[in-house]
Amino acid sequence: MKIAISSMENNEHSKVSDRFARSEYFIIYDHDSLSFTSVENTAKSAGSGAGGKAVKILGDLGVEVVLVPELGPKALEALQAFEIKSFQYPREKTVREVLYLYFEKKLPELFNSTSKGRH
């Protein structure tokens, strides 16, 4: 199972991002191989629709769970279409820390968007 986390930098010791679709990087944790990889988020600079595009990138990578700070309505719709679950993390943590929180089942699952879409 692959888990994606919105991150400020390209490694698992980085601070998590306070934005989902316009974060700098996604850190992908593969729970089968216990390894981390990083993906530069090309949706970040999209003029519009970054949410859908970011989810498409993660969906194409086979991600099944995302850990996010906030979630807009379009990103949520796209996550549901890709059958990706989303969980909300608290700010100011590192990628590793929020991943531990996820496995300890301390992160709430999101079923509704947390913010309105931005243009």
- Of 30 and 49, the one with the shorter C-beta distance to other proteins is 49
Q: Does 81 bind other proteins (CB under 8 A)?
A: yes
Calculate ∠ Cα 56-110-66, nearest 5°.
Answer: 40
Which of 17, 90, 81 has its CA nearest to residue 38? Answer: 17
Q: Which of 82, 88, 96, 102 binds other proteins (CB under 8 A)?
A: 82
First to last CA, the chain: 33
Q: Which stretch binds other proteins (CB under 8 A): 7-15, 23-31, 75-83, 86-94?
A: 75-83
113: its two tokens: 């968007």
* Smallest distance from other proteins to CB 77, Å: 6
* Smallest distance from other proteins to CB 56, Å: 5
Q: Does 43 bind other proteins (CB under 8 A)?
A: yes
Whether the Cβ atoms of residue 43 and residue 22 lie closer than 8 Å to each other: yes
Q: Which of 28, 55, 63, 68 binds other proteins (CB under 8 A)?
A: 55
Which of 5, 74, 72, 69 has its CA nearest to residue 39? Answer: 5
* Smallest distance from other proteins to CB 32, Å: 20
